[in-house]
Structure 1
Amino acid sequence: MKSLLAIAIIVLFFPLIGCQVSQHKQTSDKNKSSISEPIHKGVYVWGHEVSSYQPCGEHLTYWVTATPASDELNQLSLALSETRNAPYQPIYIEAAIHPIDRNSHPAFSDGFAADYDAIIEISNVYMKLTELPSSCKLK
């Protein structure tokens, strides 16, 4: 009788223990993927009808969709524009950037984004400078 009870407990609770371990592994994998995310270096420009990013050393220019990270950059750009008394102030950034499928974004076919090579979103900004470093050449 005791052995049947022990087997029943093992059968009932063993899968629960296994689920907890696998959930922990999933969390660990997610943390690893966000840490190993590539960092892109380039120049962000914001202003009237402009929200763009150009990687250092490249000809391509991308339209940037609104995210909390880009909103923070917009505020910095606005402050620079007021301080320097000139719009469209470039900001050097090192950031996590993700492409947006052109077919899923209506602005790409009709709107300001249509004039750009692609659409991206900025999810995290790791560094921002108000002066462009000499290592970042724009073409």
Structure 2
Amino acid sequence: MTHLRQALPAIALMTLLTGCSGPSTSEPVDITPADSQQADASGNKVQAFMLRGSVVLGHESYSIQPCGSTKQYWLTIPPTERQALADITRPGYEPMYGEFIGYLEPAPADGFAADYDARFQVKQINLISAEMTQGCAQTPHQTRAFGHEPGWVVEISGNQASLLRPDNQRQQQIISKKRIQSGLQHYQGDAFQLDLTKQQCNDTMSDSLFGWHAELSWEGNSYRGCATLGSVDITRHWVGRYQGTSYIGGNPALTTTVTLNPDHSATTRYDYPSGDPSTHETGFWQQASDNTVQVVMTKHQGRRLISQRLFTLDGDRLTTREETVSGQTYSLGNDGLSLKKQ
């Protein structure tokens, strides 16, 4: 683990850059191929995504409440990360700000995690801080590296790298070479080189833990510090309400509405033209590939029932031909299920 024990905390430098930089764009987070696709508990392939929110760590609570959400997900932390988290965790279940890369699974049927909306399997910590209590109020940041003695912050935005140092004007260089692989990210220009290595990096002055170690060479000067990947969730383009009506003998029989929310929670509502009461399901969603999305319902009318549909994007429609309920796969008929984005 890299320790930065300097007078000016990294959080202060990051705040300085946030105040001087323009608005963040929804550029892809550079999650390397080996890290991006994972198998969930059912063996289905899903893509890891960035989740940011308010984190509570303690004996009976390892949870995150996504920014702007009332949902709470149980955090499953890799054993290799737990001691580092314990070192910065304050007593009394005090909330911290966190950013994690991982994927969702249904909450277990019993235990501490059973009462949560889902379980988030953490593959990597991007950032967790006991001081950034207002982290959710800030715009998601770009990929950036930072350090001290002297203080510096470099930010990656598109094909440009920007360096900011106290009492110096911002300097910019074009990125001419870029290499992303498992555990390593490399950016290079005419007069700079930035290497990010997947490794716990701890700034003990600010009670913060970062997921990457950084080495920067800029116009002949060398710097070392910590880094974080961009915190934008690039799968949010799936967010929306999708609806479709099934027919029997030419007559409407069932209207299905699936809502995918920004916090990765999801709902399914079934309305019956016959006048029967509507039914509701709740669960979560996550991207499986560039054109498929996994929608998992964990409760039907408030009672635990695990079902899954893998939808394919076809224009402005989500389509699927089967559904898996409690481990058994069922056909949805010749026409399947087609839902149009509203």
Partners of 1:98 and 1:37 in 2: how far apart?
5
Matches within 5 A, 1:88-99: 88-99=93-104
Listed as ranges, the gaps of 5+ residues in structure 1 are 1-29, 82-86, 103-107
The answer to whether the aligner puts 1:44 opposite 2:45 as a matched pair is no
Q: Could you say if the C-alpha distance between residues 69 and 117 of structure 1 is closer, same or farther in structure 2, counting changes exceeding 3 Å?
A: farther
> Partner of 1:62 in structure 2?
73
Return the letter of the residue paired with 1:62.
Y
2:164 maps to none
Structure with the higher fraction of residues in helix conformation: 1
Q: One-letter code of the match for 2:74?
A: W
- 1:31: Cα distance to partner? 3.9
SS at match of 1:58: coil
**For residue 52 of structure 1, what is the amino acid of its counterpart?**
S
* Structure ranking higher in strand proportion: 2
Question: In the aligned structure 1, how far is the partner of 2:105 from the partner of 2:51?
Answer: 16
Does the 8 Å contact 2:68/2:136 carry over to 1?
A: yes
Distance 2:59 2:121 in 1: 18
- After superposition, residues 69-108 of structure 1 pair within 5 angstroms as 71=82, 72-77=84-89, 80-81=90-91, 87-102=92-107, 108=108
Question: Residue 143 of structure 2 corresponds to which residue in structure 1?
Answer: none
Give 1 or 2 for the bigger CA radius of gyration.
1
- SS of residue paired to 2:125: strand
Pairing 1:136–2:147 present: no
One-letter identity of the residue aligned with 1:120: F
**Residues 89, 33 of structure 1: alpha-carbon distance in 2 compared, 3 angstrom cutoff:** same
Segments of 5+ residues of structure 2 without an aligned counterpart are: 1-30, 37-46, 138-342
Q: Distance in 2 between matches of 1:128 and 1:38?
A: 16
Higher relative contact order (CA closer than 8 Å, sequence separation 6+): 1
Instruction: Give the TM-score taking structure 2 as reference length.
Output: 0.25
Task: Name the TM-score, length of structure 1 as normaliser.
Answer: 0.56
CA distance, structure 2, for counterparts of residue 70 and residue 61 of structure 1: 21
Is contact 1:70-1:122 (8 Å) kept?
A: no
User: How far apart are residue 55 of structure 1 and its match?
Assistant: 0.8
Q: Quote the offset at 1:74 in angstroms.
A: 3.5
Deviation at 1:126, TM superposition (A): 1.4
Identity of aligned residues (%): 31
